[in-house]
Amino acid sequence: MTQENKQTRVAQALSERAHDLLISLNFAQKQIGYIHTFDISYGESIAERTMLEVEIAAAAKRQQSSTSHHKYIAKASKHLHSVIEDAIAKQINDLDNIYHEVVGIQDSVPALLDLLSVRSASVGRLEPLVNDLSWLGRELVSLVNLPQYRKKNSKGTAIKVDTPALALRYLGLENLQMVIPTMAMRHWMPHSTEPFALMKRKMRELSMSTAIAAKELAPFYGVKEQHAFTLGMLLELGKIALVRLYLRTFEKVWQAKVKIARDKKQKDLHSALLELAPDPLFLRNLLVNHSAELSRKLIEKMELKYLPFNAVMEEYTQTYLPNAHKIIADPIALTTVMQKAYGYAQMLVLKDSQLIEEDEAELLLQHLELSDEMRKQLAKCAFHNLQLTIL
Residues 6+ apart with CB under 8 A from 69: 272
pLDDT for the residue numbered 391: 67
What's the Cα-to-Cα distance from 168 to each of 105, 122, 130, rounded to whole Å? Answer: 21, 10, 9
- Side chain identity, residue 184: A
Q: Is the CB of residue 194 less than 8 Å from the CB of residue 248?
A: no
Domain boundaries, the chain: 1-31+73-104+198-391, 108-188
pLDDT for the residue numbered 53: 59
From the list 299, 360, 186, 385, the residue with the least C-alpha distance to 343 is 360
pLDDT for the residue numbered 55: 52
pLDDT for the residue numbered 45: 40
pTM: 0.89
At 158, give phi and psi (nearest 5°): -65, 135
What's the Cα-to-Cα distance from 372 to each of 336, 343, 378, rounded to whole Å? Answer: 17, 16, 10
Q: What is the pLDDT of residues 234-264, one digit of tens each?
A: 999 999 999 999 999 999 999 999 999 999 9
From the list 164, 313, 159, 310, the residue with the least C-alpha distance to 236 is 313
Q: Whats the size of the chain, residue-wise? A: 391
- Side chain identity, residue 147: P
Q: How many CB atoms lie within 10 A of CB 346?
A: 24
Report the C-alpha gap between 323 and 116 in whole angstroms. Answer: 33
pLDDT for the residue numbered 81: 94
Long-range contacts of the stretch 282-286 (C-beta < 8 A, 24+) = 282/81, 282/84, 282/85, 282/246, 283/23, 283/196, 283/242, 283/243, 283/246, 284/19, 284/20, 284/22, 284/23, 284/27, 286/88, 286/242, 286/246
- The strand pairing partners of 152, in sequence order, are 158
From the list 356, 238, 354, the residue with the least C-alpha distance to 302 is 238
**H/E run at residue 89:** helix 53-92
What's the Cα-to-Cα distance from 67 to each of 51, 78, 268, 376, rounded to whole Å? Answer: 21, 16, 14, 54
pLDDT for the residue numbered 60: 55
Region of residue 222 (phi > 0: left; psi between -120 and 50: alpha; otherwise: beta): left
CA atoms within 13 A on the CB side of 139: 16
List, for the chain, all residue ranges whose pLDDT scores fall below the cut of 70.
1, 34-67, 391
Q: Is the CB of residue 337 less than 8 Å from the CB of residue 223?
A: yes
Q: What is the pLDDT of residues 115-134, one digit of tens each?
A: 999 999 999 999 999 999 99
